[in-house]
Every structure is written in structure tokens, then in C-alpha cells.
Chain A
Amino acid sequence: MNWEVVIGLEVHCQINTKTKAFCGCSTAFGSEPNTQTCPVCLGMPGQLPVLNTLAVDKTILTGLAIGAQINLESKFDRKNYFYPDLPKGYQITQFTVPLVEHGYIDITTKDRGDRRIGITRIHMEEDAGKSMHEGLDAVSHIDLNRSGIPLMEIVSEPDMRSSDEAIAYLKNLHQVIRFLGVSGADMEKGQFRCDANVSVRHPGDEFGTRTEMKNMNSFRFIKQAIDYEVMRQIEVIEDGGEVVQESRLWDSVKNESRSMRSKEEANDYRYFPEPDLPPLRVSQLEVDNIKAGMPELPHQLRARFETEFGLSAYDADVLTQTRELSDWYEALVAAHPADPKRCANWMANELLGRLKELNKNIEDSPVSPNQFGELMDRMGDNTISGKIAKDVLDAMLESGKSADAIIDEKGLKQVSDTGAIDAMILEIMAANQGQVDAYRGGKDKLFGFFVGQVMKASKGKANPGMVNQRLKELLKG
């Protein structure tokens, strides 16, 4: 039987403001429990929310980056439910009129190619605190440091048809958010969390009953959870059963999901307009100003890197994976503009490979863009060969010294003096008269042997181009 998968995603993304959404408390991660709280985010009597306008600006910026409509008047609502980590007994969110609507993210997957995934809305809301039950006997602990941290909830259309598309969407969205600098989007810290709505149907049919997989914070788990859920639903239907609309929780240890609650017992959130906050009004001028300050997005950077610097699609893609990478590359070619392609190649292949082994990101690289550029220049001016350059890079990463210092210290300067190279060649020819005769007799393949001998004699320092040229000359006899 032919099944089609339908996936819609909801992403909760913490906005990286210094202070919380509705009070002045710090949003710093990892502090002692309940040290970043105040009467407002503790839900004390008589306390009122005051909106953090920076969080609004960052949500607008995100909306503009996904080609969405910014609602100049949006509204806050209360979502009512009881839970100990929700101090007020309601969450301030945007239910009826969100700040951002009708955007999209473009994705590419192997199986389905280029596709545009619709984004229904982005609304602002506040995070809840954290409840801790594990390792505690008959009590639970609550940490309200997270209570009131601003969130964007980014809701997609049910446009994805495979877990690969879902992951591609999430990765692109994640990348855009990181490029905009609107969120740390650190998944391990819960700054980028995903709920997946999954259903299956026969192509052309109405949507099937969906289930919601809650609160996943790794791309791998999300893919596993979706794949598991698809299989489970197909099995249920093929066994003659019906999928129950419910929320499910992914257990990443057991690699299975389990039911949280079914729709019959689902909360009625009793949404209604938040009377403590007037409608959120932004002017077109403010939106335009935010738009004017919008940084280049990954796809724009990729295109520019290809045209401006002549990079391969592969290199351009690698160097635009994160904002830090593209910034690093731009700093590199700004200071050392001689050969942007060589820079890109070496950065993508040699530097990043080595950093990966050192478990470092580009922003933690012990070699600065400028130092790396000097190394590129030493290849460009034939001071060293590419082969030597790799050794120099190793030494730079280890010692933090400049390329020139290492070249000097270790005497790695390339030999480009014709006289010195000729002398070496003649010595080798004299010592290998048999091979010289054979070469001259038509055994062309022996050319490589002579190159090897010269490079060996020069300890790799001879300029390879020159060696080739002089060998050809002298071997002619």
C-alpha cells in the first residue's frame, strides 16, 4: 500500500534578549535555581507584565527573514493551565493575532528536490520554569529562572512529506535564526525545541488523524521519532485500527514514543485577551528600519561567495554553514585578497578538518584569519609549497606562532633559485646515469622518478614548478 507522510512542525525558540519577556530578570543560562527571578516572573499578587521591545524587534527580524507579513497590530492572550512551573497559572502568548504570519523556508532534499515549506505564523510568548522530579522522593523541585524568558513559536504548514524534509526544514530554519543572531538556538540548552505533528494518508486523500510528538531537542531524535511514529501509524491502520489524536513523548533511550494524553482529556486552555497588555502596535517605519539592518542570510551569502570570489558550490556551502564561518572567511579574504579560491579551499578542507579533530569551532580557532592568510600568501609567493604549508599549518595550530616564524625557524623556505635546483638535478643525473639513458631512450614515465629524487634531496623545499621545468630542460641533454 502506498502511504504519504504529512508533517507540520512547531519550533519553540528562545529569543536571546538579556532580560526576560515581561520583567527585568537576567536570562543567563546555568545559574543557581531561582536566582534569576523577581515578583513579576514569580507571579506574585498585583505584579504586572511590561513587554520587552527588543524581543519584539527580534521576532520581526525573523519574520522578515522568512518573507513573512508583519502584523502592525498584534495581540496578547492568556493561555490558562495549572502547573507548578507556570507561576501565574496562565502563559502570556499570542493566540488570535500573532506578530508574524505567512512566511516560508526553502529546502532541498535528495528524494524530493527543491521545495518551499510554508510558515503559518510566528508568535511571541513566555517560557515556563522547569520542574524536577528525578532523584527526589515524594517532592518535586521547581526552578523558575526560565520562567518568563521570551520565546518565538514558529509554526509551519503541514507541508513536509518525509522526515528528511522535516530535518532539512529545521536545519535551514535553525541556520537562519543563528545568522540573524536572534537566538543562541542551542538545542542542548533547550533554546530550540521542536514539536512534530505527524499523520499518514493515501496520496490524494484528506489529512489523516495526527499525533503530536512533544518537546524534542536534537535533529537525530526528531528524525527517529518521526520515522517511528510513521511506522506506528501505518501499522495501526493496516491492522484495521484507528490513529488516536494525542500527544506523545519520544523516549530517546528506548527509541520509542509513548502516549502523554489523549484529546478527550486534553486541556481546554480558555484563551482570552490579556487585559494587562494593550495590543502590540509597531509602525511600518520601525519594520523598515529593522529590515534595513537585516544581515545577509545563508542563501544570499552562498550566491555572493560564488560570484564575488568564484567559489565552488561545495566550498560556498561549507563556508556559509554558520555566521561564524562566513564572518571568518570574509575577514580572511579582506586582509588577504590575493587568492580567495585558495583561501576557501584551504579553509574548508585543511583548517576545518584539523579544527574538527581538535574538537573546536571556527570561533575558537587558535589561528586567526590574518595568520591563516599569511600562510596562504606564502604559498602564493612560492615561499613554500602546498605540501610544506600543511606541515606549517599543523605547527601553527600547535604553537600559535605565525607562518613566517615557523618557516624561518624550521628553515622550510622553498628553493626557487635556478642555480641551486640545477646543481641538485645534475648531481642526481650523474648518480643515476642508467635511468637518464632509459629516459632519453623513450621511457617518459621515469620523469616522476627524477622529480621524487630532487624533492627528496631538497627535503621538499624545492619549488615543484621549477623542478619540473628545469628537469625537462636538463634531461633533454
Chain B
Amino acid sequence: MPTLKSISVARGRPLPVLLLADISGSMAANGKIDALNQAVSTMISSFADEDAGRIAIHAGVITFGQGGARLHHPMQPAKALRWDPLTALGGTPMGAAFDLTTSVLADREQIAGGALRPALVLVSDGQPTDAWEEPLARLLAHERGRKATRFAMAIGADADRAMLQRFLADTGQSVFGAEDARGIRQFFQWVTMSVTLRSRAANPEADDGYAPLPPEDYDV
């Protein structure tokens, strides 16, 4: 006789989104870190709500600030992620963050074999305080890093736009500039929209779902 007392279910194919968040001391100014926390937490809950298709959005967060680069949230289904807010302190160890990113991308425990091309989202408001060029080259040489959809946001005038543009490399995208909380929110709305549309696309590997949100549709 069949039993229905314990049932396991398969989840959708993972679409991994990895956030690289600058939590250097300067992020504490002008409420930037609060705006970032708010926007990222909204983005993750939108991803969690997006579960009607055959794809499940996964999210992970790497921070870089005091003490180097840390895996703040390992890659996991957005539905399961309980967002732990970030606090800003320390320098901008960009190189360490790139290397940690490469190792997360390579980790089959965090990103399973059948996962879709990841999306990488880099957010920074300052100049790197460590050597970053070689770590970035390593990241972009890794298959998953090279193929990743990439988004970058420069917060404020002190951000290293040239470095952020190098991270975007040949994706055809440009760095999103944000001056304040509103800009930070807009950037994450745009990332949310792009990732969500890609997760619904008939061929998410071919189509990167890039679609700018019309200004009038921003919730501001």
C-alpha cells in the first residue's frame, strides 16, 4: 500500500544570483548601508515569490570590509534565505572579494551542476584597498564567471568606476551610478526585474533578459 506520510519534492533549476557588497566604513555615511539592506532584502523576497516556473532563483551574499571578504550568506534558494542586515566597517578588500567569488562559483555544493549561468551583482562606493586586478582576471577566466550576467553599481562620487567597468568587461552593460538611497533602490529594482524576466524566459541561457525598467514603473 502506498504511503503519503513523507514526500520529497524536487525544486526548480537554480538560477544563482551572487551579490558582492561593499561594507567598508564609508558605506555607513548618508544612510547608504541602510538603503542597501532595505533594497537587497526586498530583492530577495521578490526572488522568493518567483516560484511558478521551472526555475528557482538562488541567492548568496559576499561582503567586503573589515576583516576581508566574507561569505555573509552562502548560496541557497531565495525562499530559504533569512536576510541578515549588513553593518559597515573597514576598508575595501576588492581583490579578496573577487577570489572568494571565484571559489563560490567553483563550489558544486553551492552551485549544482545543472544550475543556469549565474548573475553577479557588484556594489561599491570606494577605491579598492588591496590588489584586485589579478583576482578579477581569475574570476573572469573561470567559466562560470566569464559567462555570468554581471551588474555593477557605483555609489557616490568616490566609487572606482573604472574598476567596476572592468568587472563588467565585455557584457555590453555600463556601471549604474547611484547618488542616494533612491538610486540604490532603483538599481536593485532593475536587477530584480532582469533576473526575474530571465527566470521566465523560454531559453534563459541564451537570453540574458536584460530589460531596463521604464522610469515610471519604479516604486518611488
Task: Tell whether A pairs with B.
Answer: no
User: What residues of chain A have their CB less than 8 Å away from a CB belonging to chain B?
Assistant: none
User: What residues of chain B have their CB less than 8 Å away from a CB belonging to chain A?
Assistant: none
